[in-house]
Amino acid sequence: MSEKHIPTNITYHSKAHSLELEFNTGEKYQLSAEFLRINSPSAEVQGHGPGQEVLQIGKQDVDITKIEQVGNYAVQLFFDDNHDTGIFSWDTLYRLGKEHDALWASYLKRMKEAGHDRPEPKHLQ
């Protein structure tokens, strides 16, 4: 992945709590606010090195309240749980879209191993 993966359109669907991304390669991804929150590139989520990741629990109802472009390379997402420190580069957003299924399965497995249930999001009930 490189700078060749640049979003041509970013749309937030508030009722669905999801971010729709269209890239200049023609690829499209729909990423939930929960998925983006639990995969935030911030140190609060990723830690300060390998193996220091922090499992994010109870984020199924999180919403994005604001999106700000950062230069020509990223966006900053502001979540309604007051998390706003992750800068999502174009490469990060592309990777999250491309690897969504594997990352989501890994998250659910880690939740289960930690003894946590993931309730259905309220907006889907």
Selected residue with higher pLDDT from 123 and 107: 107
Q: Give backbone dihedrals phi and psi of 6, rounded to 5 degrees, phi first.
A: -120, 130
Second CATH level (architecture) for the domain 7-114: 2-Layer Sandwich (3.30)
| Structural contact between residues 2 and 74, judged by C-beta atoms closer than 8 angstroms | no
Across the range 31-37, mean pLDDT stands at 97
Percentage of residues in the chain with pLDDT exceeding 90? 80
**pTM score, two decimals?**
0.93
Q: Is the pLDDT of residue 105 over 90?
A: yes
Across the range 34-38, mean pLDDT stands at 97
* pLDDT, averaged across the chain: 93
Work out the number of other CB atoms within 10 angstroms of the CB of residue 74. 18
